Amino acid sequence: MIKILDSKNITAEQIISRQIADESAVEQAVDEIINRVRTVGDYALFECCRRFDGVELAELAVSEQEISEAKQAVGAEFYEILRKAAQNIYDFHIRQKREGFMFTKEDGQILGQRVLPLKRVGLYVPGGTASYPSSVLMNAIPAQVAGVKEIIMVTPPGKQGKIAAEILAAADVAGVHKIFKLGGAQAVAALAFGTQTVPAVDKIVGPGNIFVAMAKRKVYGVVDIDMIAGPSEILIIADSTASPRLLAADMLSQSEHDKLATAVLITTDKAQAVAVSDELERQIPLLNRAEIARTSIDDNGKIIVVADLQEAARLSDLIAPEHLELAVTDPFALMCHIRNAGSIFLGQNTAEPLGDYFAGPNHVLPTGGTARFSSPLSVDDFIKKSSYIYYTKAALAAVRDDVATFAASEGLTAHARSILMRFEEDEN
């Protein structure tokens, strides 16, 4: 049963109970996989498929025929739902696209910034025992908006050596260019270093298990990565007007993800806290993933009773949740007091699953309190920027002594000389 806590008696550890796990065994296993893939390429990938996925593959790449069959298998209705969701995601992310700039000064300086898309990115989509077409759309569409030329997708095959039809259909809608039947640390290594079949990419995005997360950490620097995603989190701030039945349902929408997921309710109403606890007990047995939700709620869930919404906002910022629902009468006013959250859901009708699938903002969000300093996946994740500088001789002459003096203050005489030597002939 979920814990109900009073904010007057709560400790910091009870508010934020994220633990740093010992990952040394995972790190060793991932190091071995990465080195193996880097050394022998495709052979290691087939080897890993047999060992970890229990499947013997003839080819790593997904064929056009498999994609066509997947589109038929999901049916026209679901394919159209994917298209609608994709359009909403596009409409949101196109507003994030930025242009470069250039400006000139009277002395002839020209300064500016170029904004260029990455050439090739890798998209990791969880699979095997589960199917997450939403992850395909959320990762691929911002890359498309940014102008990435080639999107490579990897996702683990099921026991029959096939990719879930829903994932392939989503990849078709999102414009993914190549798809490979690969999962785990081996897929990350293949994207980072390239193999005989899998091309090396510039950046890897997308969530995965602890082995995927560790592999992304290990290859960072060879390639860029989006973030290290942890277990899913939801925090709900509610006043007395919110329905206990709906609050419990929203908490369970994240608890069913993972036994390590966290669902927290902060409420100003003690009676409501008890009612939500009762609703959780009633609703959990109704779920397909009841065992997972039960463990998540019992181990990680909590309800915190506070004096007012100002205190609720303060606690929320300490937690810095991935998902934040404001189930209150005036959510826009309360949002003004919130600083740290990955995505904010305003009002009684805006359930978190809207963000997971359909509304448009990205569902790849900072977890584990990292919303204090990081942001959701966006078009910015798929671009790079270069600055440029142009000086005329006269413009350089006007600042040469300043630059040379600055360089000398750091003891870098070669820096100073590279400026001053441009005027030696003029002075002789």
Q: Which residues are catalytic?
A: 322-323
Tokens representing 207 are 């969530």
> Residue 75 contacts by C-beta under 8 Å, 6 or more apart in sequence?
none
Question: Which residue from 385, 393, 387 is spatially nearest to 109, judged by alpha carbons?
Answer: 393
Phi and psi (nearest 5°) for 220? -60, 130
- Report d(CA 33, CA 407) in Å as an integer: 47
The radius of gyration computed from the CA coordinates of the chain, to the nearest angstrom, equals: 26
Dihedral in degrees, nearest 10, Cα atoms 239, 240, 243, 244? 90
Place of tokens 């989006």: 226
Question: Which residue from 424, 237, 258, 249 is spatially nearest to 353, judged by alpha carbons?
Answer: 249
Query: Which of helix, strand or coil describes residue 323?
Result: strand
Q: Are 312 and 268 in contact (CB under 8 A)?
A: yes
Question: Which residue from 155, 184, 180 is spatially nearest to 32, judged by alpha carbons?
Answer: 184
Question: Which residue from 294, 285, 333 is spatially nearest to 312, judged by alpha carbons?
Answer: 333
- Report d(CA 192, CA 34) in Å as an integer: 9
Tokens representing 394 are 């006269």
Cβ neighbours around 118 below 10 Å, total: 21
- Report d(CA 328, CA 13) in Å as an integer: 26
- Report d(CA 321, CA 366) in Å as an integer: 8
